Structure 1
Amino acid sequence: MTQKPQQTSRSQVRIVIVEDHVLFAESLDLALTVEGYDVRRVDVPVDGAGAGTLLSTLLRLRPRVVLLDLDLGAFGDGVRLIAPLAKAGINVVIVTASPDRGRWGEALRHGARAALSKSQPLNDILATVRRINAGLPVMTHEEREELLRLWHEKRRETQGIQERFAQLTSREAQVLGHLMLGRSVHDIATAGVVSEATVRTQVKAILAKLHVSSQLAAVGLAHRIGWRPPAL
């Protein structure tokens, strides 16, 4: 006979919320507190430099579950917190507004137990916490494999785009950097002490190498993969 997993009293289950949207964090806090859990909220640092401090705070609190947003304002991507938390035996549940399911898969790849959308009913989040407390699975094998597949596809696509950027010459990379700052061809030519015709030729080369049809698309692609130009 299979033994049923032992469920810990909710008052002994500490849940930490890492969320920079105050109203959503307050809603989670209230709902979980009403259910009897020991709920804590941790302030998100104002920039990415505070990652070590935030991680130390979370580990010191020794939570059973961390409800983690992926987009943490100026702090950046919350995904970097997942692996060390999971390694410490903490159940990480992603609660995000991002519709990018490839990112959800990346979170699972780093050790998150589940990924949920903020648009889902609040009870879905509560149900996930209940299942973790009861020692039950929180995602089906099929759901997990599908998200991981989407992450692999996105990763391959990103690598392909990065290879295009690697084809840019140092001057073309600088020109793209200027475009990312909103500078015109005239401004770039003046700064580089070259003719506008030369800059236009360089812009055409950039568009051809990146497989895009406009300066706006080139800038958007750079932002999409987090590409950074050389120092201007």
Structure 2
Amino acid sequence: MNALDGTTADRPEVVTRVRVLIVDDHAVVRRGIRAYLEVLDDLEVAAEAADGQEALEGLESMAAHSELPDVVLIDLLMPRMDGVVATSRITERFPGVRVVVLTSFGEMERVHAALANGASGYLLKDAEPGEVVAAIRAAAKGDVFLDPAVARQLTREIVAPPTGISALTGRERDVLILVAQGHSNQAIADELVISERTARTHVSNVLRKLQLTSRTQAALIAVRQGLLPPQA
């Protein structure tokens, strides 16, 4: 408002930028994503990281300077700390930061694990650049954006959910066998090279899908289904 004549002065529109942390163990992928995002007025690449551990360390440093990004765009398969574990820790430690998964793997087991651990989006790496941008913008607003192929699979699960052993993913079958062999959650985690929390989630999913209440019941089911030989 002009103080002299009461008119509104022309002012440049202020664009609120969405700050993004790119996490991928391939430098060429990070550079490609950065190059695309940085030409957009409303997006800004805050930093890059080569794995989940580096991402967490970077976020801790950013938090100390009140410079946390709005969205973390993260791959799943990475050294030191994978994307699922990193997603869980990011959403726990920095609840205001949203996580969008960008990966080559569309298996529903991975989708469920990522979403269960707090991801706000899931995209495959063959997605169009516009879809990646849309997912980042949606996450920044608190919405969820899913790759169309992933969304279709989730819809099929809701409309016609599988039952019994067929409801289990390959990883959940592995977990069921380990449960039947008497492994603890930590032992399962060590065997499958996953976090104890992820192992615990898999065990819970197995019991829920099979409508069981105990690990002993799960062991009996595994024997009856021929997943492991009966005890002598």
Structure 2 CA distance, aligned partners of 1:58 and 1:161?
A: 42
Q: Shift in Å at residue 13 of structure 1?
A: 1.7
Partner amino acid for 1:113?
Answer: S
Q: Say whether the 8 Å CA contact 2:177–2:228 is kept in structure 1.
A: no
Residue deviations 1:30-67 (CA, integer Å, cap 9, x gap): 1111112220333336x96x686355246454111000
Structure 1 CA distance, aligned partners of 2:181 and 2:132?
A: 40
Residue deviations 1:161-206 (CA, integer Å, cap 9, x gap): 2135548xxxxxxxxxxxxxxxxxxxxxxxxxxxxxxxxxxxxxxx
More helix by share: 1
Q: Among the aligned pairs, what percent are the same residue?
A: 23
**2:89 aligned to which of 84, 103, 115:** 84
Secondary structure, aligned partner of 1:17 = strand
Q: Which residue does 2:39 correspond to in 1?
A: 34
Structure 1 CA distance, aligned partners of 2:144 and 2:96?
A: 16
Residue deviations 1:42-95 (CA, integer Å, cap 9, x gap): 3336x96x68635524645411100011111x3241211212322422110000
* Cα distance change of structure 1 residues 42 and 57 upon mapping to structure 2, 3 Å threshold: farther
Matched, 1:106 2:113: yes
Residue deviations 1:133-187 (CA, integer Å, cap 9, x gap): 455542498866768989x8336423212135548xxxxxxxxxxxxxxxxxxxx
Q: Which residue does 2:20 correspond to in 1?
A: 15
* Cα distance change of structure 1 residues 138 and 108 upon mapping to structure 2, 3 Å threshold: same
Aligned residue pairs: how many? 160
Secondary structure, aligned partner of 1:35 = coil
**1:153 aligned to which of 134, 151, 168:** 168
Q: Which residue does 1:130 correspond to in 2?
A: 137
Q: How does 1:195-206 map to 2 (within 5 A)?
A: none
CA RMSD of aligned residues (A): 3.7
Instruction: Give structure 1 stretches of 5+ with no counterpart.
Output: 1-8, 168-208, 213-232
Higher relative contact order (CA 8 A, sep 6+): 1
Structure 2 CA distance, aligned partners of 1:210 and 1:142?
A: 30
* Cα distance change of structure 1 residues 55 and 129 upon mapping to structure 2, 3 Å threshold: closer
Matched, 1:97 2:90: no
Secondary structure, aligned partner of 1:71 = coil
Q: Which residue does 2:178 correspond to in 1?
A: 162
TM-score by length of 2: 0.55
TM-score by length of 1: 0.55
